[in-house]
Structure 1
Amino acid sequence: MRQDNLWSSWDLPLELGQFPPCLCGPNPRRPQTPPSPNPPDAAGLGRPDPGVTRILRLLTWVLCLSGGFIDTAFSQRSTSLQWHLPIDPEARMVADACDSTGVLVPSIQPMTGWNRPPQLQPSEDAFSGLQVLGEAKQVTGEFSAQSTAVGLGAEGSWNRRGHWHVSATRWRLPLGFPLAHEVGRHGAMNGLGQASLLSPSIASVDRLEGAASWAVSPSVSLRVGQESHHWGLGGRSLFLDRHMAPALGARLWLDAGIVQYTHMLLRTKHLEGDTLQRGWMAAQWAEVSLGGGWSGALFGTVKWSADHDVAFQGRVEPHYLIPFGAFRPREYILGSTDNALVGAQLACQTRLRRGQWFKGYGQLLLDEFKASELFGGESWWANKWGVLLGVSSTSNSGKFAWLAEAAAVRPWTYTHKTQPNSYSHLHQPLGHPAGGNFVEGRIWARMTLLDDWTLRLALLRRAQGRSEGSDEGLLGFAAGEMPWRPYTERNEDYGQVWLQGARTDVFRLELDLAYPVGARYDLPGMEAFVRAWVRLEEQESPGAWQDPWNASRIELGIRQSRVMDERNW
């Protein structure tokens, strides 16, 4: 194993800095009474009033004045070296640092604190001070309302081995249909976690996220906390996607420079009305450098119920805690009905002649399949698999980056007999946020203008087959797009074709322009922004359990929280 990527370099000065993303955690409150299935009255959100000016001004003064009495040594931009999108400047910093020391660029986020090249290691302060987190904006479009998020964050390190961070944020979000219906019925907020309704169109989310890690050796690290995770090099992932709600868990990380291994245990929650069910998930990842910029990785995971497994009622299955062994053979030996998935990733990262970084990658996910049925041409329901392909590049100056990606997932992928066994958490997929039964493509771009302005563009086009019926729980035809719905709802074993059900086409375009305004107050992460997005949905045939949702908005405000990709709130 490499011994020069960690402790031999601890005496070097810290140059880059480092605070995990402002992503937070669940609120234990029960979901309230579901709102009407009809879209909420825009009038309920209220017309714009001078209150928004006071809100924006108040948060501005709080963020500015905090620079005078709150230590902000670790203040960050919207992203960090531990958590970022492929087109963010931090992604290039990580690639440069790993390339200079001859180690793999980790595909696992959040990245481990100390088991990294010295340029990427955290500070050595046990407490780096408090950071004010938040967002205040005026929203106009199909409705007009104010949206706020206020919170605090902190981090620290000790003995050049340990690192901790925590962030807590309270969100007050105006919602359109169907997000308000989602919160009211399932107590979950898309991309955030548990939530509750303050009114038919206003949601409250208390989000807490934090973790502590300890480097056992230069190549081994342990991490415990409540976080979101992303396993893969793309904007989206079929394995674990950054859009998942934070989950409580523990992770083992081994880094031998050209070989990296991760073993993780997560506890999941599944809300249905007033009922809370729990599940467990064990996942592992092994990645190796193949030379010439190429790398290959194998993925495996198993999901089981904490409440309905007769043999292991309410406790962890110990066989799944042992690292360096495939899960599916263990599941077979145990004779269990757990939900096991396997996958692989192949990637190439290289620097082109002009100095720009280029990255190509692909993922293959296999939930369940038989080779004879796969090529039989009869569309067997259990041929559950997905594929993702993408390319991205960052210019030599780092001022321009782009990503192009395509993904397709078969019906019934990620599903199982019960919610705790399904590949989901808080009524949201753990893998690709679209679930199953879809084909999509996306383009992301980032450009730095006039040295200070940052322009981001996101384009998404998705075709998906939706289940038919009057409600999610009253389906006349189940299309297999929702991971948390049981696969026993299928109408037959064969004829389960791609995009079956009510064909839905979604087009989404987003522009985000930001300007840093906090440097003079020692808050470099604070920025003023204007964000505009439009979402158009068309159903080729009627009958889907959920009506099409068309929305367009313009948002203006200030923020000290990361820009979450493709969010509709």
Structure 2
Amino acid sequence: MQFKQTLVRLAFILLPSFGYAQTTYLPQGDKQNILLERLEIKAGRDSVLNFSKTRPYSRNKYVINGVNNFLKHDSAGLSRVDQYNVQGIYRNNLEWLTPEQREQYKSRKPILKNFYTTPANLYEVHVKDFDFVINPVFQYTVSKEKDNDQHLFLNTRGVSMRGKIADKIGFAAYVTDNQERDPLYVQQFITDRTAVPGAGFYKDFKATGGVDYFDARGYITFNVTKYIDVAFGYDKNFIGSGQRSLFLSDFSNNALFLKLNTRIWKFNYQNLFMELSNADSRLTDRLVGKKYAAMHHLDINLTKWLNVGLFEGIVFGRQNKFEFGYLNPVIFYRSIEQQNGSEDNGLAGLDFKANVARKFQFYGQLMLDEFKLSELRAGNGWWANKWGIQVGAKYIDAFGIKNLDLQVEHNRVRPFTYSHRDSVANYTHYNQPLAHPLMANFSETMGILRYQPAPRWMVLGKLIYYTQGRDSSALSYGSNIFLPNEPPYRGSDYGYSIGSGWKTNTLYGSLLLSYELRENLFVEGNMVVRRLQTKTAPIIEQNTAIFSFGVRWNMHRRDFEF
């Protein structure tokens, strides 16, 4: 409660000083992200689009400004599909266009004169000092899994809205009611973690394996100066250029946050403060324990095509107390942690992204949790050498085929990374990891193929293979970051490497065919195959195939890629 009061007070202290055009953000999994990624690589040296590591993206400062800047200098390289997608960005961000520009996106046949006056939005208002957009949210998917007689489904209904007041305050909300029964391996995750991937509190729904949960998100935004944006709300954030992130991903539940983003010259600096939830068994009705996180990420354009970033984050728990030293937006967290007695879980990292030849993007992350150089050189598998690394590459218009995009990515994380000596300060939120869904003690390689042969069609294929050393029933080998990394959970001090423990190999493949019936309304068919084999006793082999068909409207896909 004290943390919430602190954030609210800070927000209202800053509020009177705003005075610049305000923004809202693209929602999770929005289709516009695909084009923005392509435009950044095609431009190679875009002063707006090159700052793409922190998501979600600002609709005006990043999306509209970035697209406009690209079209001003590089529009000759756009394919027919890209041009269609550019128009889609304008259709979905009309509040940032002039009244004259909005006229060309009017619907020929609106419904009852006031609904769907433009193709993208159910109802919208654009008048002096006020913009408002509201849309339905719907998804229904049915699935059939091999050797599983259960009825698998996803049923989501809800609403999303956004707007701005006098170009000074932005606001957005997303509310859905969800029932779903997922494939068996996801049901096992829910049982093991007492958590639904990406969601918070849930209830069992009807027969075995079903869950029922409410997803409510929202935030307000304003500007302190022309260069500093402030957002306060309850939603997800992501830091990185890859499919996964070793710093902060959107895999876990929404979180209360205060975000300050400073964009000036060759720098983009984000401060993120969050209230998180401890691990909880949900056995009784009670207040879930709270913990907190503070993160900094600094992007620097070293050259027009090379961007390097610095990251630091800390997760900590206090009894009815927030550590106010961590509100300092500049100082290194490690120094504050040491002054406090080194009880908190601090991480630091480096990342990079390079756009090359208007075709390629190379990216990576190095995350350091804890290590000792002498132990690292000794190579004896000291348990506290905790780090993770990511390297990846994207190749657009591959082999001269327009809108065929390829991506390859490798992630590996040492045992016990993200864990802590207690069960509170681990790098988790609401029974789920804050970063990679596999947590720790794994090596993962993935390949992604995305092809848009025509404006409304998309084919998306993914292949993921990973090796993980899982924990036994008696000892932790560092994969389950919810367990304290101290004895008796951990055994010896030495002999740990990636794969130590109950060695498990998993192959995951998916193929999606999607067609956009009308703006943001998709009909989709999807196939997933998953094969899990353990290489050390007890030997287990699990093979499954899942076929799905569904309709999705103004909502992200629910994928379980682990």
Question: Counterpart in 1 of 2:325?
Answer: 319
Contact 1:183 1:196 in 2 (8 A): no
Contact 2:193 2:431 in 1 (8 A): yes
Deviations 1:508-567 (A, max 9, x none): 01001011112xxxxx000111011111100012248xx654321111121125554751
Question: Counterpart in 2 of 1:457?
Answer: 461
Contact 2:145 2:183 in 1 (8 A): no
Note closer, same or farther for the CA distance 1:139–1:80 as it changes in structure 2 (3 Å cut). Answer: closer
Deviations 1:218-272 (A, max 9, x none): 2101111111111011111100012232111111100014101011111111222
Q: Percent identity?
A: 21
Question: Counterpart in 2 of 1:445?
Answer: 449
Q: What secondary structure sits across from 1:315 in the alignment?
A: coil
Aligned pair partner of 1:218 in 226, 238, 243: 226
Question: Counterpart in 2 of 1:390?
Answer: 392
Does residue 466 (structure 1) correspond to residue 476 (structure 2)? The answer is no
Note closer, same or farther for the CA distance 1:432–1:478 as it changes in structure 2 (3 Å cut). Answer: same
Aligned pair partner of 1:165 in 160, 169, 172: 172
Whole-angstrom CA distance in 2 between matches of 1:504 and 1:398: 38
Question: Counterpart in 1 of 2:376?
Answer: 374
Q: What secondary structure sits across from 1:135 in the alignment?
A: strand
Does residue 513 (structure 1) correspond to residue 513 (structure 2)? The answer is yes
Amino acid at match of 1:272: S
Give the paired residue count.
475
Note closer, same or farther for the CA distance 1:413–1:385 as it changes in structure 2 (3 Å cut). Answer: same
Question: Counterpart in 2 of 1:361?
Answer: 363
Aligned pair partner of 1:150 in 143, 151, 157: 157
Contact 1:110 1:230 in 2 (8 A): yes
Contact 1:95 1:105 in 2 (8 A): no
Note closer, same or farther for the CA distance 1:163–1:357 as it changes in structure 2 (3 Å cut). Answer: farther
Note closer, same or farther for the CA distance 1:102–1:129 as it changes in structure 2 (3 Å cut). Answer: closer
Note closer, same or farther for the CA distance 1:362–1:565 as it changes in structure 2 (3 Å cut). Answer: farther
Contact 1:502 1:541 in 2 (8 A): yes
Mean Cα deviation higher: 417-426 or 120-129:
120-129
Aligned pair partner of 1:193 in 197, 200, 204: 200
Does residue 550 (structure 1) correspond to residue 543 (structure 2)? The answer is yes
Question: Counterpart in 2 of 1:504?
Answer: 504
Amino acid at match of 2:171: W
Aligned pair partner of 1:229 in 213, 237, 241: 237
Question: Counterpart in 1 of 2:30?
Answer: 79
Does residue 251 (structure 1) correspond to residue 197 (structure 2)? The answer is no
Amino acid at match of 1:108: T
Aligned pair partner of 1:290 in 289, 302, 325: 302
Equivalent residues in 2 for 1:269-308 (5 A)? Answer: 269-270=277-278, 271-274=280-283, 276-306=288-318
Amino acid at match of 1:427: N
Question: Counterpart in 2 of 1:332?
Answer: 338
Contact 2:309 2:352 in 1 (8 A): yes
Q: What secondary structure sits across from 2:378 in the alignment?
A: coil
Note closer, same or farther for the CA distance 1:113–1:278 as it changes in structure 2 (3 Å cut). Answer: same
Mean Cα deviation higher: 323-332 or 388-397:
388-397
Question: Counterpart in 2 of 1:423?
Answer: 427
CA drift at 1:298: 0.7
Amino acid at match of 1:109: R
Question: Counterpart in 1 of 2:526?
Answer: 531
Mean Cα deviation higher: 401-410 or 178-187:
178-187
Whole-angstrom CA distance in 2 between matches of 1:430 and 1:337: 19
- The structure with the largest helix share of the pair is 2
Note closer, same or farther for the CA distance 1:103–1:236 as it changes in structure 2 (3 Å cut). Answer: closer
Note closer, same or farther for the CA distance 1:446–1:277 as it changes in structure 2 (3 Å cut). Answer: same
Amino acid at match of 1:376: A
Question: Counterpart in 1 of 2:116?
Answer: none
Note closer, same or farther for the CA distance 1:10–1:337 as it changes in structure 2 (3 Å cut). Answer: closer
Contact 2:25 2:58 in 1 (8 A): no
Q: What secondary structure sits across from 1:550 in the alignment?
A: strand
Question: Counterpart in 1 of 2:85?
Answer: none
Question: Counterpart in 2 of 1:484?
Answer: 482
Amino acid at match of 2:30: T
Note closer, same or farther for the CA distance 1:289–1:568 as it changes in structure 2 (3 Å cut). Answer: closer
Question: Counterpart in 2 of 1:409?
Answer: 413
Amino acid at match of 2:509: L
Note closer, same or farther for the CA distance 1:173–1:565 as it changes in structure 2 (3 Å cut). Answer: closer
Question: Counterpart in 1 of 2:115?
Answer: none
Q: What secondary structure sits across from 2:336 in the alignment?
A: helix
Does residue 134 (structure 1) correspond to residue 129 (structure 2)? The answer is no
TM-score (norm 2): 0.79
Note closer, same or farther for the CA distance 1:9–1:161 as it changes in structure 2 (3 Å cut). Answer: closer
Equivalent residues in 2 for 1:11-26 (5 A)? Answer: 20-21=26-27
Deviations 1:431-484 (A, max 9, x none): 111111000100112101233211001110000001112xxxxxx121111121
Whole-angstrom CA distance in 1 between matches of 2:224 and 2:402: 34
Mean Cα deviation higher: 177-186 or 407-416:
177-186
Aligned pair partner of 1:349 in 355, 361, 370: 355
Whole-angstrom CA distance in 1 between matches of 2:392 and 2:189: 31
Mean Cα deviation higher: 258-267 or 155-164:
155-164
Whole-angstrom CA distance in 2 between matches of 1:210 and 1:21: 11
Q: What secondary structure sits across from 1:372 in the alignment?
A: helix
Q: What secondary structure sits across from 1:234 in the alignment?
A: coil
Which consecutive unaligned segments of at least 5 residues does structure 2 have? 1-17, 68-92, 97-125
Mean Cα deviation higher: 335-344 or 555-564:
555-564
Amino acid at match of 1:482: N
Whole-angstrom CA distance in 1 between matches of 2:516 and 2:297: 37
Contact 2:153 2:182 in 1 (8 A): no
CA drift at 1:154: 0.5
Whole-angstrom CA distance in 2 between matches of 1:230 and 1:417: 26
Whole-angstrom CA distance in 2 between matches of 1:277 and 1:159: 39
Q: What secondary structure sits across from 2:256 in the alignment?
A: strand
Whole-angstrom CA distance in 2 between matches of 1:434 and 1:185: 13
Contact 1:103 1:257 in 2 (8 A): no
Question: Counterpart in 1 of 2:54?
Answer: 108
CA drift at 1:345: 0.6
